Structures are given as C-alpha cells and as structure tokens.
Amino acid sequence: MLGSHFNTIIIGAGISGLSSAYFLSKKNKDFLIFESSKYLGGTIKSKKIKNFICEIGPNTVLMNNDSVKKIIKENGLLNKVLYPDEKKNKNRYVLVNNNLTKIPTSFYEFLFSKILSLKSKISLLFESFASRHTKNVTVADFIKKRFGNEFHDNIIEPFLTGIYAGDTSKMSARHCLKLLWSLEQNYGSVTMGLFKKKFKKPSSFNFPNGLGELITTLSVNLKEEIRLNTSVIKISKHGDLYKIKTNDNRTYTCKNVISTVPAFTLSKILFDRKLSLELKNIDYSPIDVFHFGLKKKNIRDKVNGFGLLTKKNDKKSFLGILFNSSIFNQLAPKGFELFTVLVGGQRNRNLCKLEPKLLQEIILNELNQLINHSGPVYMSNHYRWKKGIPQYNLKYDYIEDHIKSFLDKNTNFYINSNFYRGISVSDCISKSEFISKKINRN
C-alpha cells in the first residue's frame, strides 16, 4: 500500500528521534517519526513506584553543550531542572580492601588517598616523558603507558565501567577517552594539556518526575507526526529519494532519513549490505538494572555521594551502585533511600542470563553488607537490557570508516544513534541539532 511523501522520515522515537524532530520543527513539520513500540523515549524510561522515581536507563543528563541548554530552555523546563547536591555529588567512591574509599578531588586529598600507592603517585610525575601515540590503542594500553597499571586498575577501569560497562583491554582509547587522547595528541602529554587548558566541569541534572519529563514535553507538539507501533522493515534508495516500508505494508518516500535505532536494528533494514554486515560487529553490553528503596533507619553506614564503581579485582557481582536519593533527595519519599544497582556488562555478562529473583538475592546480599543494612526491602524493581550499551572497541575504527563512507555516498541519510559519534544523552541531542540544521538549510 502506498503511503505518502515527506521531506524527512525519522526512525525511532527515543531522545535522538524526538530531539531531531524538535529542532526540525522550528522550520517545518514535513516529517514523520516511526516508533516500533507503543512507548516513547527509547532508553529513557522513568517509573514511579511507591513514590520512588526510578530511572530504567540514563539517570542524569549533562548540561554540557548549547543544544541541551536550548532544548531545556525553549521547552519551558528550565525552572523544573533539578541539580544534585553539589557537596555530595563530588563524592565518588571505589573499593579499597572492600571499603568505600572516596576518589580524591583535590591535591591534598590525593596525597593522603589510599587508592594509589606512593610509588604510583610518584610515577604520575613522569607522565609527560611518555611518547605520543602514533596510532589508536586500547584504553588499557594508553593509560598504563602514561600513568601506570595501578592508576588504570583503581581509577580508570571503574570510571569507564560506569559509562560503557566495557572491557578496557578492548575499548578504543581514541573514542572512549576523547579528552585525554586529544590532550596527548595536541600537547604531547595529558598533564601538559591539563595545565594549558582550562576545563569547567559540567553539571548533571534530572527532573522532579524523572528524565521522562523531557520525553513527555518534547512529544506534546509532535502528536500528529508520531506513529507508534510502526516498525520500519526495509529502507531502499531510488535515485535521490529513499523508500521506507513499514510493518503495516505501507511504503513512504522521503528526501531525508534520520536513523536513530541501534546498530543491530539498522543492520536488518538497510539497503547497503556491506555496512549492514559491519554494523552487526558492534557489540552491546547487557545490563540488569535493580532499584531498591530502603528505610534510612535500617542503614547503619550512611553514604553521602554520587555512587560507587567497582573493578574486576573487587570480585563483586555488580558494576556500580548509584546513591540516587543522596544527591537528589526528591527521588525518594521521606525516611527512605533509593539505590540503583547495575549488573552485567562485559565483565559479568553471564549474570544477565540468571533468573531475576536469584540475581536480586545475590545483589541485595552484597548491598546489605556494603551499607550495613538490615530489615525488609520496602521497594524493589528490575529491568533487563539484553543489548544495553554499544561498545566502542578497538576495531570500531574500521567500522567508523565504513559508516563515513556510506554517509558520503548516500546524501541526506543521517545516523543519530549512540553507536556513532557519542554515547551520552547530551551527545545525541547535540547531533540532533546539527543534523536538523543541515536538513533545514537544504
């Protein structure tokens, strides 16, 4: 059945799709958004359970680029933005001898911190003497060469676990350590680069009812353009136009395509067989997300901070724990604390195959010991992402070249997904504005 012609068709109604539509709509609304599920938001899912605000996907967004600031301000959300308790937000923890240990945030704290040995602290002074890399390497190789094994194992590995849930012995330094890689390449040394450039740490934020408020707000003025429960099953190219076939047996034509779906989805519907095969090589880490609402009076070891990240040597079943209500007290009812526990990733992907109740028992036991909690669990929730976070591994250089080649050959086809040019929500919003401006100029 023949559909209609549109200037632009957006595939996927997550944050990338909806923000692309928002920026496009500033000039025209000659577009459609196809979403395969009955829900909007993609990986952004906020759920209210017993007055706890639980984030199934991203827990915060960084206010680190103009596109994010615009979309918040122009949609009347500026007065709803919740910033974390600044003092507590600075407290990020790792485990040292199974004890919560704060990552130092000042030179004085660093000197007396138990995270690194004296030998490792002294070796950091010689980072500027390490030679510049002439080709891309793994994160593990990059950090160990410049800062030493201990710095990698105790600081970098836990930190990147919280972002990618990946394996640093496979991850691409150029893609996963963009800032450090850039400083080394431009200044010959990360340390020298940090001295010469001034950096302002961006704020993270949320909303009173979770990040889902952003999704709801963006969708209000896009109701006519959104098609829920509509999967794209084939994309083909005919001259300068693209044909989009959907699961209701309709075929649409358009000048521009913005694909915001995961690599494994795009690979099944794309007309370019070569790129489809490459996209299948992008690995996604599985993630199990647990939420626990606990009574404050039953927690003996109070925690004040953003969260805890673990490393392989800690031998924990979880990757990290977010102390949600510590930095955003609005996320839990009075007298309670909210914890989000992340499990799986490249390190423990087999745990994501366990029966959820059994896995919850294991995780809860480790959490109880860590914070010295006794008593019943007031609220619990679980969600399993079978394919959660795309991995920017060393072979990604090769895949990225194929993506660039495809986009060069196929004018007006755009990829705005977290497997290409940035994994964070703020990255995706920034890419949305860039792409939309380009389309609106044509």
DSSP string, 89-106: HT-EEEEETTEEEEPP-S
CA dist., res. 234 & res. 259, Å (int)? 12
* Gyration radius of the chain over CA positions: 23
Residue with tokens 């860590």: 370
Burial 186-209 (b: 16+ CB within 10 A, else e): ebebbbebeeeeeeeeeebbbbee
Structure tokens at 224: 């006519």
Q: What is the pLDDT of residue 1?
A: 60
CA dist., res. 278 & res. 207, Å (int)? 38
Q: What is the pLDDT of residue 94?
A: 95
CA dist., res. 45 & res. 381, Å (int)? 13
Q: If you count them, how many residues does the chain have?
A: 442
Q: What is the pLDDT of residue 196?
A: 82
Domains in the chain and their CATH numbers?
2-44+62-74+207-282+392-441 (3.50.50.60), 116-196 (1.10.3110.10), 284-390 (3.90.660.20)
Q: What is the pLDDT of residue 302?
A: 87
Q: What is the pLDDT of residue 303?
A: 87
85 three-state secondary structure: coil
Can you count the helices (H) and strands (E) in the chain? 18, 18
Can you give the pLDDT of all 442 residues of the chain as single tens digits? 666 999 999 999 999 999 999 999 999 899 999 999 999 999 999 999 999 999 999 999 999 999 999 999 999 999 999 999 888 999 999 999 889 999 998 888 888 899 999 999 999 999 999 999 999 999 999 999 999 999 999 999 999 999 999 999 999 999 999 999 999 999 999 999 888 877 777 889 999 999 999 999 999 999 999 999 999 999 999 999 999 999 999 999 999 999 999 999 999 999 999 999 999 999 999 999 999 999 999 999 988 999 999 999 999 999 999 999 999 999 999 999 999 999 999 999 999 999 999 999 999 999 999 999 999 999 999 999 999 999 999 999 999 999 999 999 999 999 999 999 999 999 999 999 999 999 998 7
The amino acid present at 212, given as its one-letter code, is G
34 three-state secondary structure: strand
State the pairing for strand pair 2-11/251-259. Answer: parallel
Report the half-sphere exposure of 272 (CA within 13 A, side-chain side). 18
Q: What is the pLDDT of residue 200?
A: 76
CB contact at 8 A, 294 and 377: yes
If you ran DSSP here, which 8-state letter would residue 155 be given?
A: I
DSSP 416-432: -STTSS--SHHHHHHHH
If you ran DSSP here, which 8-state letter would residue 131 be given?
A: P
CB contact at 8 A, 299 and 323: no
Nearest one of 68, 37, 24, 21 to 424, comparing CA atoms? 68
CB contact at 8 A, 3 and 250: yes
CB contact at 8 A, 390 and 400: no
Residue with tokens 């915001």: 260
Q: What is the pLDDT of residue 81?
A: 96
